[in-house]
Chain A
Amino acid sequence: GAGVSQSPSNKVTEKGKDVELRCDPISGHTALYWYRQSLGQGLEFLIYFQGNSAPDKSGLPSDRFSAERTGGSVSTLTIQRTQQEDSAVYLCASSSLSGDTQYFGPGTRLTVL
């Protein structure tokens, strides 16, 4: 079946602009995660959605970052007033309710000029 998909695959933006990154999880997966992969920080957890529960936002680095998940499926990660340090690959993953294997999407490479 289809895996996790993310769009766009690449995004170049200017400092100070807002960006939206999209994630489509595997159908039927109720858990969705966002991570960030950067040279300096490695792979960092950002936010986690599980069903209708309140999301775990403990990994968001600042209030410029937010995410939502509509209808328990698609998720959008929004970064407002982008900074150069936001340049990274943003990864989305999903998992089934009871399983602990997370399946990752190909990522969105964000470059802030």
Chain B
Amino acid sequence: GDSVTQMEGPVTLSEEAFLTINCTYTATGYPSLFWYVQYPGEGLQLLLKATKADDKGSNKGFEATYRKETTSFHLEKGSVQVSDSAVYFCALRGATSYGKLTFGQGTILTVHP
């Protein structure tokens, strides 16, 4: 079945550091890929998405590129801020899963001033 593997956290960075959170997946066909973010005390929010190979999703300075050859969707940001501290979830929607999302375990990011 479909699965998503994220790098283990927690990740602790200083403000303005470069961020990478790795995400790889297993799925049949061509899934859609997502990053969701959960800020402290808030619900899950969509951060970015990509629906086909080589697409790049971007939002709020974050980027991720759908790499079919490596089955990856790594999240990157060039310069993190304290306000980026949150839990980040990689997810996929399988080609035949009729909307169901499969999530990774989540990565806790803490950014210090």
B interface, over-half SS: strand
Total residues of chain B contacting the partner, CB 8 A: 21
The answer to whether B99 has its CB under 8 Å from any CB of chain A is: yes
A interface, over-half SS: strand
* The residue from A45, A101, A104, A105 contacting B100, defined by CB atoms under 8 A apart: A45
Q: Do A42 and B103 contact each other (CB < 8 Å), given the known contacts A104-B45, A106-B43?
A: yes
CB-CB nearest in chain A for B41: A106
Chain B nearest CB from A75 CB (Å) reads 14
Q: A residues within 8 A CB of B46?
A: 101-103
Report whether A107 and B100 are in contact in the complex, using a CB–CB cutoff of 8 Å: no
CB contacts between A and B, total, < 8 Å: 51
Encode contact with B along A48-80: 1 for CB under 8 Å, 0 otherwise: 101000001011000000000000000000000
CB-CB nearest in chain A for B100: A45
Chain A interface residue number, banded: 20 to 34
Q: A residues within 8 A CB of B104?
A: 42
